[in-house]
Amino acid sequence: MVQSFPFTEHESTEVSCTRNESRTSIGAGTIAKLTVIVQNRTYRITGLVTDGAFGGCGLVVVTQAPLKAELSCSLMMGREGPIDARIAWARALDSQVWRLGLQYLD
């Protein structure tokens, strides 16, 4: 049996910047694999998509990588990818738990 996910649109108040695209629940709960190079070291990180938009997505990851905004990365989401992206913002929730905002690159 195939489970379908309803399309719901919501605005997030978590980030105080003006968004160009509406957030949706499409993709939420999808496993994502992120590859990022920090200080000449390659990190392969598995995370969970929290929300999506045509221009990017939000992820929660557990990693020891020193993540920060403006890092380039490659993203595999479900059967999609690789997608070139950049970390638009990174927020440490704990010593190894991060909330990331990714922007897809053209």
Output the pLDDT for position 29.
Answer: 87
Per DSSP, 18 falls in state: P
pLDDT < 70 positions in the chain: 1-26
pLDDT at 20: 58
| Architecture label for domain 9-104 | Beta Barrel (2.40)
pLDDT digits (tens, 9 = 90+) for 26-39: 578 889 999 999 99
β partners of residue 49: 59
pLDDT per residue over 78-87, tens digit each?
A: 787 799 999 9
Q: How far is CA 41 from the centre of its chain?
A: 20
Closest-CA residue to 86 (of 66, 102, 97, 63): 102
**What is the three-class DSSP state of 34?**
strand
The answer to whether the pTM exceeds 0.85 is no
